[in-house]
Each structure stands twice: as C-alpha cells, then as structure tokens.
C-alpha cells in the first residue's frame, strides 16, 4: 500500500485528491496538512511514501518544508511531489534543487496524478507531460556555474553517457533506443549512476548533470 500525505492550504483541493487516491486499491491517504509546519510534523510522525506538497502555503511554504524533509537522514525514502497552479511556476526550479522528485499542476488529469504517485515510489522523476525538456532547458539556464567534473570520477564512460541523456530529459525507453540496448539495461545504468552519486531520484540526477557541467544549456536533442 502506497501511503500519501496531502499538504495544501485549500481544503477543497485536499478533499478532491483524497477521494481520488483513497478509491485506489494500492493507495491510501495517511494524513493531511494545511500549511508547511503541519506538513513537516505530519511527515515526521507518519513517514509516508509520498507527499503531495503545495508550493504556496502559510506559516512555512512548500519549498522550505520540502528542504526539511529531503534534508532529514531518516526520511530518505519519502518522495515529495510539488503541486503548482502553473506548469512553469518560477518556484518549480528551486523545488527540484530542494530535493523534490518532480511536480504536477493542480488541474492535472486524475490518471496522471495516480501515475505520478506510483512513479515516484518506483524511483522515477515526475514532470508534467510535454514540459520535461522545456523545464530542464529553463532550469539549466538558471543554474549556477558548473562545478568541477571530478565529482563524476567514479562513473564509467557509459554511465556518464546515460547521465547526460537523463539530463536532456530522455526516458529509459528513449535512452535504450539511443544506445541500442534493452530498456532494462538502460534502467540498470541509470540506477547504478544514481547509487554511485548518492542521488535521491532521477530529478536530482538531472540537477547533478547540469551542475557538474556534464550537460549544458542548449544541448537538448
């Protein structure tokens, strides 16, 4: 059973998400929060699998709450998906840097929300359909100057290649086609790269690809 915490200051939004999620045989809403401080306390207490976190909330906003959660060593398995009103909300970029596994717009289709919850539990990054490459390009343009590539010294040439393809927004299937390998092999390379670099998930691997200088703005295929 996938346990979810809903963090949003609008009770109507929480109610709608809760009805949808609780109707699934493999998902249950374990708790709710109306602000960031409450979200932090609820996550500490319940240790859910996924947090659906609104960016704009009173007392403590979603970004700060996310940083607390992703920065807590004992909450390393908790995945945070940010909720936003606009696909390219300026805070989305900071959310990914803060350790969020991705984001969804609030008016997303029900099927997409369910897919998102299941996807992040499986270790996949989640970005709304059709905006992945656009989001990554904008993130790259805003990111800091590349750090020394020495941080990637432990990777094989193939793992660097795979990491670069993740960085430009390719899925495992797309990586497999590009490298002429099976999807399982591509997934294995991605997983090994994440383990070696200590990345929480695919979204953080994208950040590392840009911040190490392995991928730079404009390198989108």
Summarised one tens digit per residue, pLDDT across range 165-181 is 888 778 888 899 999 99
pTM of the shown model: 0.70
- pLDDT tens digits for range 1-22: 999 999 999 999 999 999 999 9
Q: For the chain, which residues score pLDDT lower than 50?
A: 129-131, 148, 219-221
Q: What pLDDT score was predicted for residue 14?
A: 94
pLDDT at residue number 129: 43
Q: Kindly give the pairing relationship between strand 79-84 and strand 50-54.
A: parallel
pLDDT computed for residue 142 by the predictor: 60
> What is the DSSP pairing of strand 79-84 with strand 102-105?
parallel
Task: Count each helix (H run) and each strand (E run) in the chain, helices first.
Answer: 10, 5
């Amino acid at each position: 059973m996938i346990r979810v915490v809903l963090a949003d200051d609008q009770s109507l939004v929480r109610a709608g998400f809760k009805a949808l999620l609780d109707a699934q045989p493999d998902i249950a809403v374990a708790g709710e929060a109306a602000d960031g401080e409450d979200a932090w306390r609820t996550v500490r207490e319940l240790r859910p699998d996924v947090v659906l976190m609104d960016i704009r909330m009173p007392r403590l906003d979603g970004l700060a709450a996310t940083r607390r959660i992703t920065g807590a060593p004992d909450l390393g398995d908790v995945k945070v998906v940010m909720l936003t009103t606009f696909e390219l909300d300026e805070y989305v970029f900071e959310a990914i840097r803060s350790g969020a596994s991705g984001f969804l717009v609030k008016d997303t289709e029900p099927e997409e929300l369910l897919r998102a919850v299941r996807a992040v539990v499986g270790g996949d990054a989640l970005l709304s359909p059709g905006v992945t490459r656009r989001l990554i390009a904008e993130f790259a343009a805003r990111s800091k100057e590349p750090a020394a590539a020495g941080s990637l010294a432990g990777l094989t040439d193939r793992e660097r290649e795979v990491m670069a393809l993740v960085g430009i927004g390719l899925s495992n299937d797309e990586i497999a086609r590009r490298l002429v390998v099976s999807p399982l092999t591509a997934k294995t390379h991605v997983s090994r790269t994440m383990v070696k670099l200590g990345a929480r998930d695919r979204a953080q691997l994208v950040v590392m690809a840009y911040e190490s200088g392995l991928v730079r703005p404009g390198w989108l295929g």
